[in-house]
Structure 1
Amino acid sequence: MPEAFSPAPCETGIFRQDQTGFVALTKGAKGYGYTFSNGTVGNTQDAGVLLACGKDAVLVNGKERWPKVALAEADTRFESHGIMLAGRLMEAPGAGKDTPLVVYAHGSESSGWIDRARDPYQMVGRGVSVFVYDKRGTGLSEGEYTQNFPRLADDLVAASREAKRLAQGRYGRFGLMGVSQGGWIAPLAQARAKAQFLCIGYGLVADITEQDAAQVARELQDKGYGGDVIAKARTVTDITARIVKSGYKDGLDDLSAFQQQFGKEPWFALIKGGYTGVLLGMPADELRKNGIPRFDKLDIDWSLDPVQVARQVTVPQLWALAEDDRQAPPAVTIERLTALRGQGQAISVYLFPQADHGMRSYAQAPDGTRKPTIITPGFYDLMADWAKGGIHDAYGQAYRK
């Protein structure tokens, strides 16, 4: 072991090998997660862990000492809709008037992002300043967890104001990044946040009911079912969309009829989607009486039209999509973004092959189950370059649509 390396408890942060290679450590449910700049991921409690933690450094592959980068971090609290949210500005050494600044719109996870999310550190390691915050009801922030997108967009606008206040004089371009569910929220906030660009990773220009229907169709396709079964599934996702949009007032009798007609079919139990599988497993009378409390408390606004929201965005947009995404199948989104681009909007779309949700490459077993591996190469480079205002030719295996 190199003499200069002293083992010590792990710390969050960025540890750099050279000008391009680095690894970021973040807190995990167990131990610390690590993400190398090339997309390799792991956890300090895994077998075969690739690094060891030390004082102001990590030891990579048992031999290379990578020192910790002296990031400038400013913790803060800011108000939105009467509650206090916790945030942190992170800047790489040398941040100045030409450094891009971004604020992230979160995915649907119910955990906080401060110290825990890998994406912000991957941007800071590439020279982009980031304001990260714990969304309402998570981490160090007050309030109740919600999936009400307009309210979350209001929080993102408040976070943008705070980010620009803290970074005053040390940033140039300002934009929003959204991943997964954040792909709905960032466009809603863009104009009020005065964002000069958007970067969306594995998001959708489709509403939640359309996402559910696409998930169900993909599930059955992946199990080898053909058009006849998928057409039946489309019938039931149309029914469940009516149910959730009406607050359980429309469609329950049709759901009962579908359950009785197809409940014993082998494909019936395979349906999951975002919520359709839950509805299929419940009697209509129970839904009529009680709804689904764990969904209902999320306060989802079912009236939002993502196409109309995207149409109102007036700044350049990057959409980086995972070709094999089971959670957010991209086909409809690509079609709609292409149409909006044809109407004059500045939209760039990159599709990453052999990537699932979260931009994770994967190994697929014979039964169709997938084990996530690395973050697909090129994804983080593309997002950072878009923030800096100039994209290049090659980002891993991605291709433009």
Structure 2
Amino acid sequence: MNLFLPRIAALTAALFAAAAVQAADTRSAPKAAAGKGADLSCHVGAYRLDDGRALALGRIDDPAALRWRLLDGRTGKLANKDGALVSTLGWSDRADGVKVQLGQCGEGIVFDGHRGERLKFDIVDTTFEGAGVKLRGRLVLPAGQDKVPVVVMVHGSENYSGVDLYYQQHLFPTEGVGVFVYDKRGTGGSSGKYTQNFHELSDDAGAALREALRVGGARVGRIGYLGGSQGGWVAPLAASKTPQAQFVEVGFGLADGVLAEDRDQVVLDLRAAGFGDAPTLRKARELTDATGLIASTNGKRGWKELDAARAKYSKQPWWKAVKGEYSGMIANHTPAEIAAEFAKYDFEVSWDYDPMPVLRTLKTPQLWMLGGDDIEAPSEETQKRLTALGRAGRPITSVVFPQADHGILEFEKDAKGERQHTRTAEGYVRMQLDWIKRGTLDGWPYGTAKQLAGPK
């Protein structure tokens, strides 16, 4: 799962580390894949099971493992253990009992007792010009000549290859939806420097949509964007510059600025620790205003404000409960320690970006899908803002999955109280596909999702 600000996440980890010195029917099964440690990447793709379901097998950062996904949101990791493939529940390490057998490369599979045949799509790999960079892209369409809707995937803050790792390119075409994926600048096969400059990234996203139109030609029907997490800032901005975009989907993004993420995380920290009263939250806001100033200026400003907050509040019991994205770390380290870490990470974060002017004026229809229990990008304020925009007549439909975390993921808590993500929420993928195809949500119910604003 991606953080909005990997620079701060890495900084936090570095400083705290330093401070702390049914078995399948084997009679009809394909020949098993190679054993322990084998590269499984040749099995990546989409399969149609004999019960009609579509299954996607996608890469992860381990070539000896894969992630399987179903349209209903169920998912698991496949890895070799003692010479056999074992599936673990969601993103946990707990075996889920799902039995998978892989054939030789290009052959079918057996998934939990159901044979599956690999599906063939029309795939074009391409390179194209972004805003001063050369970008690697790929268009994946359902096989045939029919016109189909196409979605351009807009990155979150991740620094890996979208072409290699985005699962939508395998799963969505099984439902008649084309997908254009590309490597953001500074990642995978694209040139340039990795950045979190939303203006540059939105220019690249505009170039990606135009390239999808060029490559897809007459086969492209409706076309628009799907952005998750940080992509919630970039995708609407890209649509505002790209008149060809006919829709925007945002998953688990914020209709607030970058600094709001840490600020709202601190509120959750304090509430969870029993310090959710209004006076304490006002005091904590003084702290997050100071740490936000430090983060957004790369340590050039904010230390006087932090010293003032420390003098007033550091002895109070709530102080130690503050974590946030970076506030807890900055509050308890010296300027020299922070500066040393800032020097290692320069991603040009658009700290001052305010998404509301774009959201208030963008005429492109938008669908926002939020997690009601998102602890990385708390959605309470975003829900309020989107509801108000929808009621004011803006073309924004917003929904919330009440028990979902970042990524619209369901979770359980382990013995230590840590979240173990078990699956994508039921209805989330189907909701995305319905909006891409028709621009409406006419398939209610979508799991536990509740609509906040906009026409059903």
Sort the TM-score into its range (normalised by shorter chain). Answer: over 0.9
**1:117-132 alignment runs, 5 A limit:** 117-132=166-181
Q: Is the Cα–Cα contact under 8 Å of residues 168 and 179 in structure 2 kept in the other structure?
A: no
1:142 maps to which of 162, 168, 191: 191
**Cα distance change, pair 270–94 in 1 and its aligned pair in 2 (3 A):** farther
CA apart distance, 1:90: 0.8
Residue 267 of structure 1, CA deviation: 3.9
Do 1:207 and 1:304's aligned partners in 2 also have CA atoms closer than 8 Å? yes
Q: In the alignment, does 2:68 pair up with 1:34?
A: yes
Q: Is the 8 A contact 1:146 1:298 kept in 2?
A: yes
The answer to whether residue 299 in structure 2 is matched with residue 248 in structure 1 is yes
Length-normalised TM-score, structure 2: 0.82
Structure 1 residue 64, shift from structure 2 partner: 1.7
Residue 365 of structure 1 and its aligned partner are, at CA, apart by 4.0
Aligned to 1:91: 141
Report the alpha carbon displacement of residue 173 of structure 1 after superposing the two structures with TM: 0.6
Shift of residue 290 of structure 1? 5.3
Displacement of 1:336 after TM fit? 1.1
Label 1:72 to 1:205 Cα distance change in 2 as closer, same or farther (>3 A).
same
| Residues 318-370 of structure 1 deviation map (CA, whole Å, 9 limit, x = unaligned) | 01111111111111111111222233211111111211001110012465421
Structure 1 residues 246 and 43, CA gap change in structure 2 (3 angstroms): closer
Q: Is the 8 A contact 1:256 1:283 kept in 2?
A: no
Check if 1:157 corresponds to 2:191. Answer: no
Structure-1 separation of matches of 2:281 and 2:389: 28
One-letter identity of the residue aligned with 2:161: G
What does 1:363-378 correspond to in 2, within 5 Å? Answer: 363-365=412-414, 368-378=417-427
Q: Where in structure 2 are the equivalents of 1:220-235 lying within 5 Å? A: 220-227=270-277, 228-235=279-286
Most deviating of 258-267 and 115-124:
258-267
Cα deviation for residue 299 of structure 1 reads 0.4
8 Å contact 2:267–2:276 — kept in the other structure? no
> Are positions 1:386 and 2:435 aligned together?
yes
Asked if structure 2 preserves the Cα contact closer than 8 Å seen for 1:211 and 1:274, the reply is: yes
Say which of 32, 35, 41 aligns to 1:7: 32
Structure 2 Cα separation of the partners of residues 323 and 66 of structure 1: 35
Residue type of the alignment partner of 2:364: V
Native 8 Å contact 2:154 2:225 kept in 1: yes
- 1:196-244 C-alpha deviation (Å, 9 max, x unpaired): 1111111110111112101111122223322143332222111122333
The number of residues matched between the two structures is 397
Q: Which residue of 1 aligns with 2:408?
A: 359
Equivalent residue for 1:271?
322
Per-residue deviation, 1:171 = 1.6
Give yes or no for contact 1:44–1:52 (8 Å, CA) kept in 2. no
Q: Secondary structure at the match of 2:164?
A: coil
Contact 1:255 1:284 in 2 (8 A): no
Distance 1:24 1:266 in 2: 49
Deviations 1:136-193 (A, max 9, x none): 1222222221111111111111111111111101121111111111000001100333
Share of identical aligned residues, percent? 37
Structure 2 unaligned regions, length at least 5: 1-25, 34-39, 80-86, 88-94
**Counterpart secondary structure, 2:353:** coil
Deviation at 1:385, TM superposition (A): 0.3
**Counterpart in the other structure of 1:75:** 125
- State the distance in 2 between where 1:106 and 1:367 align: 32
For 1:37, give the aligned amino acid.
Answer: L
1:188 maps to 237
Distance 1:238 1:316 in 2: 34
The CA distance in 2 between the partners of 1:322 and 1:132, in whole Å, is 24
CA contact (8 A) 1:239 1:254 kept: yes
Report the more deviating stretch, 14-23 or 371-380: 14-23
Secondary structure, counterpart of 2:123 in structure 1: strand
In structure 1, the residue matched to 2:165 is: 116
- RMSD value over aligned CA atoms? 2.1
Secondary structure of the 2:175 match is coil
Give the structure-1-normalised TM-score: 0.92
Separation (CA, whole Å) in 2 of partners of 1:348 and 1:313: 13
What residue in structure 1 maps to residue 379 of structure 2?
Answer: 330
1:225/1:122 CA distance change after superposition, 3 Å = farther
Cα distance change on mapping 1:191 and 1:306 into 2, 3 Å: closer
The aligned residue for residue 182 of structure 2 is 133
Inter-partner Cα distance in structure 1 for 2:249 and 2:145: 20
Does structure 1 retain, via aligned residues, the 8 Å contact 2:141–2:179? yes
The residue type equivalent to 2:262 in the other structure is: D
**DSSP 3-state at the match of 1:167:** helix
Query: Counterparts of 2:130 and 2:51 in 1: how far apart (Å)?
Result: 38
Cα distance in 1 for partners of 2:69, 2:450 equals 24
2 CA distance for matches of 1:298 and 1:196? 30
Preserved contact between residue 176 and residue 197 of structure 1 (Cα < 8 Å) = yes
Question: In 2, distance between residues paired with 1:166 and 1:281?
Answer: 52
